Amino acid sequence: MPRFRKFLLCFVLILSIAFGFIRQIKIACRSVQALVSRHEAVDSRYRILKDKILSFVSSSPFDFSRFSYVSGIPGKAAERYYDFQYAMAPHLISDNNAHADHFVLDFETPESLESHCRDNSLEVLFQSGGLAIARKDRRFT
């Protein structure tokens, strides 16, 4: 086998394997970091929020079977969010934002709720204990 071809093959093969491993070790380090520093906080906040929303859903005057989407989960960690949707299914699940017309929003302050609704053309229907039900503002759709 000519030396050049052999060298070229070794070079790209080793480069690919080395680059791939370095990249994955970085991903692994970030995962561990996230696990140590953030996960616990997100987990406990998520658990509290989930319980809060479930009791909110049962006490609110709305028929949640018409709802298609839940939004505003803190942290925006995708897996938490999907797990939340999953926990609420089948009543509160949809394919994507575009089809949603009702939302459950979690908010820190009345001002943040107001600005979020203004930015996203949402109309608040009901709010209690840091949570709100909103729907797309008909004037904008």
Partner 1 sequence: MTAGFLAMMSYLVSGAIGFCALRVFLKNSRCPGSLLLFLAPGAGLFISSFLLYFDLYFFHRISRELAIAAHLFLLVMLWGAYRNTKREPAAMKEGVVFFAILSAAALLLLAVMLKSPFGTGLDVWAIWKIKARFIYHAADWRAIFAPGLRFSHPDYPLFYPLALVWAWLFAGRETAAAAFLLAFMMTLCLVGLVMAAAARYGRRSAWVSGLFLISIPHFIGMGGSQYADIPVAYFFTAAIVSMDMALCGEDARWAMVSGAFAGMSGFVKNEGLLFFAAFCLSLALFTERRFLFAMAKGGLLFLAFTVFFKLSTFSPNHMLRPEAISRLTAEEILSRLGTVFSFFAAEIRKENSWAYAWPVFGVLAVFFRREIFGRDKIWIPLTVFFLNAGYAGVYCLTALNLPTQLAVSLDRLMIQSFPVLTYFFLTRAPFVRDA
Nearest CB to partner 1, comparing residues 80 and 116 = 80
Report residue 119 as tokens: 């930015």
Cα 64–Cα 103–Cα 82 angle in degrees, nearest 5:
90
Cβ neighbours for 93, distance < 8 A, ≥ 6 positions apart:
68, 85, 86
- Taking the complex as a whole, the smallest distance from the CB of residue 92 to partner 1 amounts, in Å, to 12
Nearest CB to partner 1, comparing residues 35 and 54 = 35
Nearest CB to partner 1, comparing residues 21 and 126 = 21
- Taking the complex as a whole, the smallest distance from the CB of residue 9 to partner 1 amounts, in Å, to 6
CA distance 76 to 86: 15
Nearest CB to partner 1, comparing residues 85 and 120 = 85
Which spans of this chain sit near partner 1 (rule: CB under 8 A)?
A: 1, 5-6, 8-10, 12-13, 15-21, 23-24, 27-28, 30-32, 34-35, 78-80, 82-83, 85-86, 89-90, 93-96
CA distance 98 to 69: 10
CA distance 64 to 86: 15
